[in-house]
Structure 1
């Protein structure tokens, strides 16, 4: 069946924020408020934080695809942005059997494949219904990591070697829809992020680096490297760090964090940078990889 032709969204409409877990939906809303742009928040039940739900204009179930599309279409937004964490539909989410049954065809196509497939499916579904999808970089570019040093500290030679190795590793893994982060000590890879997320990856790295019984000293030059996958649609699922990431990285034994400049969110940047300085970690924004010579 041919996809419906997308229509241009009205430029004068509000920005619609489809809100999952975490602070990002409210940070985007605050940035839009400061810029004098109207916005409406569609909270996903069971994922959106209490503060987000209080701010929300409407709430939907995760599996209620039709309800979400009907709500967004009625708002006639200038654009839609997907913000905050949402897990893949789980048995718990399937308790809403009515929503699942009503949307079974859409859910069947969205639930197959990896995370990239899922996100591409969501984007295509929104665009087929005439909704323009915007990214954080379009709406709140100040939330993105800049290039260069963010805090008071910088990497030494050993840490620079770790950053370079981690950056090359993540670039090589990009086609495989693995993760967006790795922990590297010089050229030794301690952990690569999988579906469990960055926090649990850092816990694994801590266990591996501090043997026996977590009491050993971490290897020299241990760093967390995080960046978007090559070719990733930067309107959704951007890598992100914040104060919790800094705390977990320090506990794991990292001496610094390097992220992709312009493609990684830095949540609560003043607090994140201050905590990194106090814990002795450098924060570094990595410029994009150079284009290969033709």
Structure 2
């Protein structure tokens, strides 16, 4: 990746835009944040920034070019908007037929289309893992708790399932308990999947004791990691504990962790393991 010049960070919700901004600045590069109205945290105004609506691609591109930005990274959560809520500027109005087609499909289809629109404006779209590699989850166990032999088998099953479901543009996460696939992430997202599994346990539909099972997350095969890399923070650990799981496994190098120390502290306090795993699962 070429050095020099500020990096534009398109910021959705959550803690990850700030973590990426700080990591980039620690490398000696300036950042300019483009904050998405209705999603980005107002606390991000402490950085050089511009607010915008999702449908104002033309005006955002003009501001970025005026600032000398050539590389852009998209960070933070978004919910899929309705086309009529985008607040389209003239650039986007001209692209409206294409935009409408992008919404007729899964997330991979939508995100790949967004990549094309950004590239057409003359920018290089980078991944958070490219501009802030120190935030990637490393291989191995984080913290003082490790997976049991059964949990390791559950992790292997979960990783295989994510690989198998990837072509269908399903979510990136599954819950596996003692060899049973108990939940698969779809449009609801990870937190709601964990809540659904927890409710199945509490209702007696699934009779697993607390402290069994694993949340497994990994990028889907062929997924463009520049725009949809999984993320892991303390809140995910808390949700997994509430659901009664034993731990969490992510693909090593396939997830962003904005504050590893805070993550480990929560996992140790709640008695969960967090592991970055590769194909060898060593």
Secondary structure of the corresponding residue to residue 183 of structure 1:
strand
**Structure 1 Cα separation of the partners of residues 276 and 175 of structure 2:** 16
The aligned residue for residue 38 of structure 2 is: 46
Alignment RMSD: 2.3
Matches within 5 A, 1:81-100: 81-90=73-82, 93-94=85-86, 96=87
User: Does residue 236 of the first structure (1) align with residue 194 of the second (2)?
Assistant: no
Range 264-273 or range 101-110, more displaced: 101-110
**Structure 2 Cα separation of the partners of residues 287 and 24 of structure 1:** 23
User: Does residue 124 of the first structure (1) align with residue 100 of the second (2)?
Assistant: no
- Offset, 1:56: 4.5
Residues 92 and 248 of structure 1, relative CA distance in 2, 3 Å threshold = farther
- Offset, 1:66: 1.8
Q: Is the 8 A contact 2:210 2:246 kept in 1?
A: no
Q: Is the 8 A contact 2:174 2:181 kept in 1?
A: yes
TM-score normalised over the length of structure 2: 0.91
* Matched pairs, number: 280
Q: Is the 8 A contact 1:20 1:83 kept in 2?
A: yes
**Structure 2 Cα separation of the partners of residues 226 and 204 of structure 1:** 16
Q: What CA deviation, in whole Å up to 9, does each residue of 1:68-118 have, x standing for no partner?
A: 222223333241100111221227725x36677465234223322110011
Matches within 5 A, 1:213-252: 217-218=208-209, 221-252=212-243
**Structure 1 Cα separation of the partners of residues 135 and 263 of structure 2:** 12
**Structure 1 Cα separation of the partners of residues 70 and 279 of structure 2:** 30
User: Does residue 111 of the first structure (1) align with residue 83 of the second (2)?
Assistant: no
**Structure 1 Cα separation of the partners of residues 167 and 134 of structure 2:** 29
TM-score normalised over the length of structure 1: 0.88
- Offset, 1:187: 1.4
The aligned residue for residue 62 of structure 1 is: 54
The aligned residue for residue 6 of structure 2 is: 14
User: Does residue 276 of the first structure (1) align with residue 244 of the second (2)?
Assistant: no
Q: Is the 8 A contact 2:217 2:251 kept in 1?
A: yes
Gaps of 5+ in 2: none
Match of 1:183 among 153, 170, 175: 175
**Structure 1 Cα separation of the partners of residues 65 and 108 of structure 2:** 25
Match of 2:193 among 180, 201, 211: 201
Q: What CA deviation, in whole Å up to 9, does each residue of 1:219-244 have, x standing for no partner?
A: 76311001111121111111111110
Residues 218 and 71 of structure 1, relative CA distance in 2, 3 Å threshold = farther
Match of 1:266 among 252, 257, 260: 257
The aligned residue for residue 152 of structure 1 is: 144
Secondary structure of the corresponding residue to residue 55 of structure 2:
coil
Q: Is the 8 A contact 2:20 2:258 kept in 1?
A: no
Gaps of 5+ in 1: 1-8
Q: Is the 8 A contact 1:89 1:111 kept in 2?
A: no
The aligned residue for residue 5 of structure 1 is: none
**Structure 2 Cα separation of the partners of residues 36 and 10 of structure 1:** 13
**Structure 1 Cα separation of the partners of residues 96 and 29 of structure 2:** 36
Q: Is the 8 A contact 2:212 2:244 kept in 1?
A: no
User: Does residue 255 of the first structure (1) align with residue 246 of the second (2)?
Assistant: yes
User: Does residue 26 of the first structure (1) align with residue 12 of the second (2)?
Assistant: no
